[in-house]
Amino acid sequence: MTLTINNKKIKFKSGQTILEVATANGFAIPTLCYHSDLKVQANCRLCVVEIEGHDHLETACSTLALEGMKIITDSPRIREARRLNLELIFSEHEEKCVDCLRRFDCDLLKYAREYQANISRFTDRKKKRKTYCFSKAVEIDGGQCIDCKACLEACQTVQKINYLEIRGSGVDQEIVPTEDRDRACIYCGQCTLYCPAASAQEQSAVAAVEAALADKQKIVIAQFAPSLSISLREEFSSLNSENCEGKIKSALKQLGFDYVFDTGFGTDIASMLAAEELLKRLKDKQAVFPLITSSCPAWISYVEFYHPELLPHLSTIRSPHIQSAGMIKTYWAKKNNLNPRNIVLVSIGPCTAEKHESIRPELFVNGRPLLDQVLTIRELVFLIKKNRLDFSKLPKNDSADLFNGSGAAVIYGTPGGIMESVLHTATALSGAQKKNKISNNRLEFKTVRGLTGFKEAVVNLQGKRWRVGVVNGIANIEYVLPHLKKYHYLEVRSCPDACVGGGGQVIPTTKEIKKKRMAELYRIGKKRSIRWASENKAMLAYYNWVKEHKLEKKLLYTKFKRI
């Protein structure tokens, strides 16, 4: 099929929208409410184009391309409509650019410049609106919301949590947390991943981190998730693939962090403990099955609120970044003669729920949180851009390699990554390494009932066959719950595509981009000098130290309770 765009003949496939055809052929059309992974909303009216024979403009994102259509994507008439719609959008959006996390990549400002929109033609109508805060993790700033409904789609359709609602009509319309007492936010941050207006976003810890960095009395330490290197490379072209982890370490040093750690170390501890826990349960005739992973903090919030009856199924092992935090503030601090009270520990990762996790009292050690601040990857990007760090000029830093994680810790960020890592370690621990294929091959998962968000496999451990499964995205849990009894071990990840699609990931995050991130993580995972958790000697040494000092309960395990 063919049509013309700006007088150029173009082939397309039936079912494509004008926006898809135009984008695929290099015609740029501005969009705000559109996201390739979400249902088309067509409410920002920015992508308007002319179609011959139509008496008004049409939105490219929502109009199907048809045979013979004659489309114009740029003209004075179009520019005028885009300018006006932008001015109206800005009248709903209070600019807080000075410390806005989107400042360096703001589509709103980019389009305002491109279409010469007067962003203050109309008074900011929503200035007095509330900001809704969800724990320490996520917020919706009513004064900035442009009513695009992307967050609603994320919360309702992608996650099926239905915590966000739209209330009122016309100019009274507002995105609000529900008043339904039977629903709760799980802090997954999926809503923040799609918001074009910095309204649904993580509660920023940037100011607190900057204050700590400026405080000469404090030792400020960063620990960052291994998946960071992939995401930062998307942001900074000067960060090439071969040396990026070292360069990220240098960047953090330049920002003023005194020490930098790899959260992957904590991941290895978690894998090790999880493997032990699994083997123990498999031997125990009375054990509760399935055992379910607990390293995704949004999943924990979900179980606590929606399905407390599943609490006995949850693994009691602390999540990876809490594990490494425990190591840094006790074992490492002691070895280096540092007072943990002087340490400000900042964890950087792709997650908003970790912000909430960091203030869970049951994870405190000696009455204080292990993690003092949690930054999303976006917040780190903001810091780097604000300080104008140039990766091409930064040295490759190899220090602190002592506490690195293994390759298995790298793939932890992908759906199925926990399963793979834990099963491998369990196989190694049960001494069957050579006979078992897991050590060399990826697990052979198959999809169940055509669900893309759930996969299962059968594995051999201790001479028996066990059924395991991976839930990829919290929305899929409802299909699995009725069949729980069939499984022995389940991995549950709240965000679609796990941490590579985490609520704190860089923007844009799309299905396509996530696929690339996953492939890259597997690639660099293989290149790590330590491949599997069970081979991580530094980690094993720490584990022995904890056991010697009988600190297991305090540092390695946790308890879940009904809320």
Partner 1 sequence: MPKKLRKKNKRRNILELITEAGLVGRGGASFPVAKKWKLVKEALKTRKVAYIVVNGAEGEPGVEKDAYILKNYPEEVINGVYLANQFLGNQKIKKIYFFLNHSYWEKYLVQLQKVLSQRKYQSLAKKIIFTAKSKDLLYISGEETALLNYLEGRKIEPRLKPPYPTEQGLFNAPTLVNNVETFHDVSLVGRGKFDDKRFYSINGAVRQRGVFRLPATLTIEDVLRQTDNIPDFPFFVQVGGEAAGEVLNSDQLERPIEDAGAITVYDLEHTDKNKLLSHWLNFFAAQSCGNCVTCREGTYRLAELVKQKNHDQKVFTDLLTNLAESSFCALGRSLPFTIKSYYINILKKKI
Footprint on this chain of ligand FES (rule: CB under 6 A): 31-34, 42-47, 59, 61
Q: Which is nearer to partner 1, 4 or 91 (CB)?
A: 91
CB of 33 to ligand FES, least distance (A): 4
| Closest-CA residue to 409 (of 544, 229, 271, 519) | 271
Q: Which is nearer to ligand FES, 23 or 430 (CB)?
A: 23
Secondary structure, 3-state, 314-364: ECCECCHHHHHHHHHHHHHHHHCCCCHHHEEEEEEECCCHHHHHCCCHHHC
Q: Which is nearer to ligand FES, 61 or 244 (CB)?
A: 61
Query: Beta strand pairing status for 48-51 and 70-72?
Result: antiparallel
CB of 184 to ligand SF4, least distance (A): 8
The CA distance from 250 to 391, in Å, is: 9
Q: Which does 195 bind (CB under 5 to 8 A by kind): ligand FES, ligand SF4, partner 1, none?
A: ligand SF4
Chain position carrying tokens 């169940």: 448
Q: Which does 433 bind (CB under 5 to 8 A by kind): ligand FES, partner 1, ligand SF4, none?
A: none
Site membership for ligand SF4, residue 300 (CB under 6 A): no
Only one of the segments 101-109, 238-246, 358-366, 481-489 lies at the binding site for ligand SF4 (rule: CB under 6 A); that segment is 101-109
CB of 52 to partner 1, least distance (A): 15
Chain position carrying tokens 């807080």: 96
Size of the chain, expressed as the number of residues it contains: 563
Chain position carrying tokens 């490759």: 396
CB of 6 to ligand FES, least distance (A): 18
Q: How far is CA 463 from the centre of its chain?
A: 37
Q: Which does 203 bind (CB under 5 to 8 A by kind): ligand SF4, partner 1, ligand FES, none?
A: none
Q: Which is nearer to ligand FES, 195 or 426 (CB)?
A: 195
For partner 1, the binding residues (CB under 8 A) are: 40, 42-45, 48, 56-57, 59, 62, 64, 77, 80-81, 84-85, 88-89, 91-92, 121-122, 125, 146-147, 166, 168-173
The CA distance from 551 to 370, in Å, is: 15
Site membership for ligand SF4, residue 95 (CB under 6 A): yes
Paired tokens of 195: 């918001």
234 dihedral zone (left: phi>0; alpha: psi -120 to 50; beta): alpha
Q: Which does 288 bind (CB under 5 to 8 A by kind): partner 1, ligand FES, ligand SF4, none?
A: none
The CA distance from 283 to 280, in Å, is: 5
Burial tier of 166 (Cβ tally within 10 Å: 0-12, 13-18, 19+): middle
Task: Output Rg (C-alpha) for the chain, integer angstroms.
Answer: 25
10, 117, 161, 513: residue in contact with ligand SF4 (rule CB under 6 A): 161
Site membership for ligand SF4, residue 38 (CB under 6 A): no
Q: Which is nearer to partner 1, 63 or 293 (CB)?
A: 63
Q: How many amino acids of this chain bind ligand SF4 (CB under 6 A)?
A: 40
46, 89, 185, 348: residue in contact with ligand SF4 (rule CB under 6 A): 185
Chain position carrying tokens 């621990």: 429
164, 251, 389, 470: residue in contact with ligand SF4 (rule CB under 6 A): 164
Q: Biggest alpha carbon distance in the chain?
A: 80
The CA distance from 104 to 389, in Å, is: 13
Exposed e or buried b for every residue in 276-304, given b needs 16+ CB within 10 A?
Answer: bbbbebbeeeeeebbbbbbbbbbbbbbbb
Paired tokens of 505: 């990931």
| Closest-CA residue to 279 (of 140, 463, 469, 495) | 463
- Positions in 109-138 near ligand SF4 (CB under 6 A): 109, 134, 138
261 dihedral zone (left: phi>0; alpha: psi -120 to 50; beta): beta
CB of 123 to partner 1, least distance (A): 9
Contacts of 168 (CB under 8 A, 6+ apart): 174
17, 135, 159, 436: residue in contact with ligand SF4 (rule CB under 6 A): 159
Q: Which is nearer to ligand SF4, 202 or 234 (CB)?
A: 202
Q: Which does 191 bind (CB under 5 to 8 A by kind): partner 1, ligand FES, ligand SF4, none?
A: ligand SF4
The CA distance from 224 to 262, in Å, is: 5
Site membership for ligand SF4, residue 189 (CB under 6 A): yes
Paired tokens of 6: 């700006």
| Eight-class DSSP state of 476 | G
Distances (CA, A) of 137 to 160, 203, 301: 19, 6, 12
The CA distance from 517 to 350, in Å, is: 12
Query: Beta strand pairing status for 138-141 and 48-51?
Result: unpaired
CB of 44 to partner 1, least distance (A): 6
CB of 31 to ligand SF4, least distance (A): 13
Q: Which does 31 bind (CB under 5 to 8 A by kind): ligand FES, ligand SF4, partner 1, none?
A: ligand FES
CB of 168 to partner 1, least distance (A): 7
CB of 83 to ligand FES, least distance (A): 15
Q: Which is nearer to ligand FES, 47 or 278 (CB)?
A: 47
CB of 339 to ligand SF4, least distance (A): 36
CB of 310 to ligand SF4, least distance (A): 18
Which residues would be at the binding site for ligand SF4 (CB under 6 A)?
93, 95-97, 100, 102-103, 106, 108-109, 134, 138, 140, 145-151, 154-155, 159, 161, 163-164, 175, 185-191, 194-195, 197-200
